Amino acid sequence: DQQVKQNSPSLSVQEGRISILNCDYTNSMFDYFLWYKKYPAEGPTFLISISSIKDKNEDGRFTVFLNKSAKHLSLHIVPSQPGDSAVYFCAARVTGGGNKLTFGTGTQLKVEL
Amino acid sequence: DTGVSQDPRHKITKRGQNVTFRCDPISEHNRLYWYRQTLGQGPEFLTYFQNEAQLEKSRLLSDRFSAERPKGSFSTLEIQRTEQGDSAMYLCASSLQTGGFNEQYFGPGTRLTVT
């Protein structure tokens, strides 16, 4: 059962525009949500996180929004840059679960010039 | 701080052979995690250690898999009698668990190909 879902396998955006990556989850016990970025031949790199008690967290060009009632979160990147081209994974943690993460399948973002 | 390192980066083996991977976490990190990623999927949790104690194993970790973290430093993941279905990227991550949420830092992974 896929508890964290990223339904868009790919997204293409023009440089300078906003990128919006979406993620849905089914497990109500998730209390922390994270976004990781992955370049080819590298491990995932932590990008930004949000606690379930918040609905927004911002860090520079990156903002994560959480809608608990809809079990949905999104990552906004603005403005998008060519260096943002990577695979983005949504991940979630269960309270008391040893901090192990459940990942989505990823969205390949391509930022075009 | 050199980050999380993994060795080897690539391993090709024949079905039925045993393989062992090594992970060196960030030096002060007390938690170490192993994940497996197959094509088109996100990383899936396999097991984790708090210092030298293995605290949880996923049901994905069959009896052919064993992980150790002697002395709470580096960790090894061994797969015995490899099968083609074991072909995947094996990722190691570490974190400093101080209470609450602590982000995990991932290594570059070991890509295993079983022929």
- A54 CB contacts (<8 Å, ≥6 apart)? A66
- Chain B residues whose beta carbon lies within 8 Å of the beta carbon of residue A105: 40-42
Largest CA distance in chain A: 44
Of A41, A49, A100, the CB nearest to B108: A41
Mean pLDDT, chain A, whole residue set: 95
Answer whether the bond into residue A79 is a cis peptide, omega within 30°. yes
Q: Is the pLDDT of residue A2 over 90?
A: no
Phi first, then psi, for residue B56 (nearest 5°) are: -155, 145
Q: What is the pLDDT of residues B61-110, one digit of tens each?
A: 889 999 999 988 999 999 999 999 999 999 999 999 877 677 899 999 99
Inter-chain CB proximity A32 and B101 less than 8 Å: yes
Query: What is the pLDDT averaged over residues B5-9?
Result: 97
3-state DSSP assignment of residue A82: helix
SS3 B1: coil
pLDDT, residue A52, reads: 94
Residue B1 has pLDDT above 60, yes or no: no
Q: Give the containing element (helix H, strand E) for B67.
A: strand B65-68
Question: Are A47 and A36 spatial neighbours (Cβ–Cβ below 8 Å)?
Answer: yes
